[in-house]
Chain A
Amino acid sequence: MDDLTEVIASLVARRLKDGAAPAGIDPDAPLSGLGLDSIAVVSLMVELERRRGVTLPAELVNRATFRSVRTLTEAVRRAESAAGRLP
């Protein structure tokens, strides 16, 4: 896993109640299937934005972005490169 994927996987793991390890999270597994409800998903987004100093644009704040660790990683990358930062 690369850095950003790892950060996101650890944020997901911290919100699960089965004590999963970040490395054990399949980046393509739907977050809802892992046991993350919608409120947990958004708290993840808030923490991620704060940590990375990035704001997801309105058009990326949708269900598709928050489908899995991978889709979220891609969206954050896109937001970061649009903000003129190195991916």
Chain B
Amino acid sequence: MSPRTDHDGAHAHPAADGARYPTIVETLVSRARTGPDLPYLTSVAADGATATMSFGQLDAWSARCRHWLRTALGVARDDVVGLLPVNDPASVVALFGLLRAGAVCLVLNPADPPARIHDQLAARGAKAVLCASPADAERLGHGAVAVPRFERAPDPVGDAADAAVRLDDDALFFGTSGSTAAAKTVAQTHRNAAANAEALRRHHRLRAGDRVLGFLPVHHVNGVHTTLFAPLRAGAHVVLAAAFDPFAYPGLIERFRPRIASAVPSVLDTLLATWREPRLPSGFDYFLTAAAPLSVRTAHDVHRRLGARIVQGYGLTETTNFATTMPIDLSPDAYRAVMVDTDVPPVGVPLFGNEVTVLDPAGRPVPPGEVGEVCMRGHNVMSRYAGNPEATDEAFRGGWFHSGDLGRRALDPHTGRELLVLTGRLKNIAKVHGEAVSLEEMEHALRRLDGVADAACLAVPDPVEGESVVAVVVTGTGREADIRRHLGACFPPHALPRRIILAPRIPRTPTGKLQRPRLLAEFGLTPPD
């Protein structure tokens, strides 16, 4: 098969082929028409102050933003525009304004070093860059623009049309976590965004009036798609906290009484520690988790101490957001059997619009219960790595997107469903806060530093971040501070090693291969499961 055919195959889905999803912008316009005064987004600032934006207000304000983008910044359809969003209404308005103008929104992490942000903007040929705050814009320089407050702006005259985008057009660009040189940009289309929102609406049975509590940053796919787009699709009400505050979060649950709260496992562990007299309000259904493997211990503790369920899902930026999620309607016995009285809680069943399979190295499906590479195809699969056809071809082989994650599928007797369980990874990566950090890339970066003779990076379990990187460095002259400064210039802050160990030598095989398990043992570090 030619790469082109592989690529096309990976975007087809038999059950959903031909489905014409409304785009996210069309969904917004229709929500604003049918329920303009219904609440869409209540944002909670770090100091606890709240502000609520209705569907009608988001429609009006994002239309003003669209007009401003076109007239003040000269943004045209298909232009790439960077956005450094935070969890606040202005960022949400800017995101929708960009989609309405037909621009491709390059979503950037405001915590990244300015040099890395500028590299990403340059690599994608961004026409402009928007910041949530004037302070960020000033820090970034080079013409970065702070997003104006559109709630007080006049409505535009003579600009009433959203760009006529096609479903296959690029909508969003997300950078991956690699070093500046090797980072890839995931290109998500309008179809990806629309299909994922519809898939989440169906799976979680989201309805108008449901409340969803979120705090994950909107510069991540989870923040954009789970927190913002899926509730919009359903007409649900989002409560978006500026950040996770372990001391204030219980109060948010009590005050806003969400049906679903979106979280990550480490946050639930934190919540169990700080919520000393927990009581979930009636109507609370479950915590939705992703980004890092959920341990049985967390599932057990949440079940016992909070009396609540966790619905675990799995996906990658390359599959828009979620590829699989646990069923939400398990009987109490089935829930206990698969999530609590087990070794590894599964990540569930494929979501609407995509298929998930497990393949052997030759690309053949492995029998149930056997481990292989988890592969996806369907409407949530990214279009490509922007500007990187080699990486795209590598990822799309045999008509499937190859995740690099290992797993097995087996019919579960308690639920009667075929559930996916993740077992490991093909590549040498650490998943820090759910983001892949290539160990080999970091080793290459270390060896580029003067005075470094050898380097090895290892993934170790981390109570805070799921996993963290430990770097073992052989150097005669280098100091730890220099090593940290060097890595800090190439990697995003969260990817940096938790520990740097200076060692006289690194054990390698006669052919020069790293022996990571031996290294872990040698330095008293336990391997991740």
Contacts and interface: CB of A to CB of B under 8 A. Distances in A.
B276 A61 contact: yes
A1 interface: no
A39 interface: yes
A23 interface: no
A43 B484 contact: no
A42 B500 contact: no
Interface string A21-48: 0000000000000000111111101100
Contacts of A17: 484, 493, 496-498
Given A58-B276, A61-B276, A43 B464 contact: yes
B267 to A, nearest CB: 7
Nearest to B480: A19
A41 B246 contact: yes
Interface in B241-296: 243-248, 266-267, 270, 273-274, 276-277
Interface of B is mostly: loop
A42 B497 contact: no
Contacts, number: 49
B425 to A, nearest CB: 23
A15 interface: yes
Contact of B244 (A15, A38, A57, A58): A38
A46 B273 contact: yes
B277 A45 contact: no
B484 A38 contact: no
Interface string B487-529: 0000001001110100000000000000000000000000000
A42 B498 CA distance: 17
Contacts of B245: 38, 63
A87 B463 CA distance: 29
B246 A42 contact: yes
A39 B497 CA distance: 17
Contact of B246 (A18, A38, A57): A38
A54 B293 CA distance: 30
Nearest to A41: B246
B464 A18 contact: no
Contacts of B484: 17-19
Contacts of A39: 244, 246, 266-267, 270, 464-465
Nearest to A49: B273
B524 to A, nearest CB: 15
B249 to A, nearest CB: 9
Contacts of A46: 273, 463
Contacts of B493: 17
Contact of A45 (B244, B248, B273, B464): B273
B122 interface: no
Contacts of B500: 19
B481 interface: yes
A68 to B, nearest CB: 15
B270 A43 contact: yes
Contacts of A15: 464
B437 to A, nearest CB: 13
Nearest to A16: B498
Interface-centre pick from B277, B463, B481, B498 (highest chain A CB count, 10 A): B463
A21 B277 CA distance: 36
A59 to B, nearest CB: 9
B278 to A, nearest CB: 10
B274 A61 contact: yes
Given A19-B481, A39-B270, A58-B277, A63 B464 contact: no
A5 to B, nearest CB: 22
Given A17-B498, A39-B464, A43-B463, A62 B270 contact: no
Given A40-B464, A43-B464, A61 B270 contact: no
Contacts of B247: 38, 61-63, 66
Interface-centre pick from B243, B274, B480, B498 (highest chain A CB count, 10 A): B274
B465 to A, nearest CB: 8
Contacts of A37: 464
Nearest to A62: B247
Contacts of B273: 42, 45-46
A14 to B, nearest CB: 9
B382 to A, nearest CB: 29
Interface string B180-205: 00000000000000000000000000
A42 B481 contact: no
A45 B273 CA distance: 8
A42 B496 contact: no
Nearest to B485: A18
B367 to A, nearest CB: 40
A39 B245 CA distance: 8
A30 to B, nearest CB: 13
A43 B500 CA distance: 21
A26 B276 CA distance: 29
Interface of A: 15, 17-19, 37-43, 45-46, 57-58, 61-63, 66
20 contacts: A17-B484, A17-B493, A17-B498, A19-B480, A19-B481, A39-B244, A39-B246, A39-B270, A39-B464, A42-B246, A42-B270, A43-B270, A43-B464, A45-B274, A46-B273, A58-B276, A61-B274, A63-B245, A63-B248, A66-B247
**Which A-B residue pairs are the 4 nearest by beta carbons?**
A58-B276, A42-B270, A43-B463, A40-B464
Interface of B: 243-248, 266-267, 270, 273-274, 276-277, 463-465, 480-481, 484, 493, 496-498, 500
Given A15-B464, A43-B464, A66-B247, 10 more contacts: A19-B484, A38-B244, A38-B245, A39-B266, A39-B270, A39-B464, A42-B273, A42-B274, A45-B274, A62-B247
